[in-house]
């Protein structure tokens, strides 16, 4: 049992849960730690067992604890306190290959003259989306085979996914999430009071058998990365999409959310799952092709889902900035911006391919078919990450992305110039040749 002063936790359910949350946040209660039984803690605090049970329920709803039946209540292995998606700062002189961000030198330039034309009406249009954006977004989605009869917006891809889950699911529901997968989603789902279940991924996308198992076990929703999967670089092939559609046909109650975050940067044809179940949504954000600060994502979905998302937005944030909407239209219709995005996609493709080749020449397997990332299996993440940091490279440990899949590290090529690729490959080969624990100080 972890050594903390349970006697000082408080006397109400909210006080007890808040004190335990503080202990989890500080590290006094580590991920995976067992909490006292309800009766044991109630006796220590001098409160009714129901009070402790209510406190534990609050922790579960906040994504901080989980019940394991007769084994008791435990701190979640990944408590929803931004511990997975939060990154440590990279010190000066270290090349940051851990960020997941695009190369700022390859982003379209926002011209001041163009920005001066964005002023529009002082109020949002009745439909929350300016007509020009609906038109352009609909044509762009339709060209990729995504039904665009009902389209709305959110403030970025993660905001869209959160709104979609809340539109259909409730506390305690299970969501199938790719393993390995995007850390922000792995934090978001439990923060909404829902439970994550891993769906295995290979080079063609989610594995049908794994998806079937998760849905058969009761998952209400599944989140699929269409292209440029983070962290593995996988994309859903047409053959795999047909297999996944057959699985989903057996579970028509499933909410299917597709995340196409890389969009034009992906470099491969989109194969969508849109419409494979009555409740579906396709999310495409701007941050990777056009800039991380452009917090706008389009959502194409069935009419009921769009109505639910917009209904909640009306009583919350209201709408996505119309200035940002008009900027999106300008970027999407600009030949100059299109050329910039195309050049960026080609550059990322070259860097990824060269890195994978350089690693293979040193006997190191890796994956990365599309997007900005390369996934590299390693026997010990901590050793590899620490060794590379000593060599001047910051990479992302696989534990941020994994649920049940084997260890690895993720390398983002956004900050990896082509002349630096052989040097990084040499450093990683040296790291993997070092004994566990390494003859160095982290």
Domains of the chain: total: 3
313 plus 267 within the same structural domain: yes
298 plus 388 within the same structural domain: no
How distant, in Å, are the alpha carbons of 13, 296, 302, 436 from that of 157? 35, 7, 18, 38
Q: What is the pLDDT of residue 313?
A: 84
| C-alpha dihedral sign at 214, 215, 221, 222 | positive
262 plus 359 within the same structural domain: no
Q: What is the pLDDT of residue 191?
A: 84
- Of 261, 256, 253, whose CA–CA distance to 244 is shortest? 256
pTM of the model: 0.83
299 plus 347 within the same structural domain: no
For the chain of 442 residues, list the mean pLDDT of each consecutive stretch of 10.
62 89 85 90 92 90 80 80 60 90 90 60 66 94 95 95 96 94 92 91 97 97 97 96 98 98 93 97 95 94 95 82 91 94 96 98 96 96 93 94 94 94 97 65 35
410 plus 358 within the same structural domain: yes
Q: Roughly what angle, to the nearest 10 degrees, separates helices 322-333 and 335-361?
A: 80
Helices (H), 291-409: 303-314, 322-333, 335-361, 381-390
Q: Indicate whether 152 belongs to any domain.
A: yes
Range of the domain at 414: 95-105+337-433
**Cα 186–chain centre separation:** 7
| C-alpha dihedral sign at 124, 128, 131, 132 | positive
Q: Indicate whether 185 belongs to any domain.
A: yes
Give the residue from 315, 333, 351 where a domain finishes.
Answer: 333
Q: What is the pLDDT of residue 217?
A: 96
Give the residue from 300, 333, 366 where a domain finishes.
Answer: 333
Q: Indicate whether 438 belongs to any domain.
A: no
Q: What is the pLDDT of residue 234?
A: 96
189 plus 299 within the same structural domain: yes
Q: Indicate whether 80 belongs to any domain.
A: no
73-75 and 151-154: which strand pairing? unpaired
Q: What is the pLDDT of residue 381?
A: 93
CA 79/CA 35 separation, integer angstroms: 14
CB-CB contact of 29 with 76 (8 Å): no
Q: What is the pLDDT of residue 267?
A: 87
Q: What is the pLDDT of residue 442?
A: 34
47 plus 101 within the same structural domain: no
199 plus 242 within the same structural domain: yes
């Amino acid at each position: 049992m972890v050594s903390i002063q349970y006697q000082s936790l408080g006397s109400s359910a909210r006080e007890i849960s808040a004190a335990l949350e503080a202990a989890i946040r500080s590290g006094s209660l580590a991920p995976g730690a067992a909490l006292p039984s309800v009766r044991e803690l109630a006796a220590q605090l001098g409160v009714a067992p129901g009070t402790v049970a209510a406190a534990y329920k609050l922790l579960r709803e906040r994504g901080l604890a989980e019940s394991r039946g007769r084994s008791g209540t435990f701190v979640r292995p990944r408590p929803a306190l931004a511990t997975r998606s939060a990154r440590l700062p990279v010190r000066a002189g270290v090349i940051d290959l851990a960020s997941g961000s695009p190369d700022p030198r390859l982003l379209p330039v926002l011209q001041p003259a163009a920005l001066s034309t964005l002023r529009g009406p002082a109020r949002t249009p009745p439909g929350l989306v300016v007509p020009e954006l609906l038109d352009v977004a609909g044509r762009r989605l339709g060209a990729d085979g995504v039904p665009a009869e009902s389209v709305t917006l959110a403030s970025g891809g993660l905001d869209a996914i959160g709104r979609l889950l809340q539109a259909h699911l409730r506390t305690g529901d299970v969501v199938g999430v790719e393993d390995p997968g995007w850390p922000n989603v792995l934090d978001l789902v439990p923060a909404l009071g829902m439970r994550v279940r891993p769906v295995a991924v290979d080079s063609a996308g989610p594995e049908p058998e794994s998806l079937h198992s998760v849905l058969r076990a009761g998952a209400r929703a599944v989140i699929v990365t269409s292209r440029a999967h983070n962290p593995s670089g996988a994309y859903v092939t047409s053959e795999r999409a047909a297999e996944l559609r057959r699985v989903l046909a057996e579970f028509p109650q499933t909410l299917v959310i597709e995340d196409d975050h890389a969009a034009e940067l992906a470099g491969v044809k989109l194969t969508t799952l849109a419409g494979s179940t009555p409740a579906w949504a396709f999310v495409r954000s701007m941050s990777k092709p056009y800039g991380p600060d452009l917090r706008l994502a389009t959502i194409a979905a069935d009419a009921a889902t769009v109505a639910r998302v917009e209904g909640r937005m009306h009583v919350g944030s209201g709408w996505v900035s119309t200035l940002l909407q008009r900027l999106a239209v300008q970027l999407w219709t600009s030949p100059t911006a299109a050329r910039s995005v195309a050049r960026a996609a080609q550059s990322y493709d070259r860097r990824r391919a060269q890195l994978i080749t350089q690693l293979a020449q040193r006997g190191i397997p890796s994956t990365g078919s599309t997007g900005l990332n390369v996934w590299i299996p390693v026997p010990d993440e901590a050793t590899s990450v620490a060794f590379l940091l000593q060599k001047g490279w910051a990479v992302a440990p696989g534990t941020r992305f994994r649920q049940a899949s084997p260890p690895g590290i993720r390398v983002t090529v956004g900050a990896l110039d082509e002349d630096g690729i052989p040097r990084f490959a040499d450093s990683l080969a040296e790291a993997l040749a070092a004994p566990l624990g390494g003859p160095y100080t982290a």
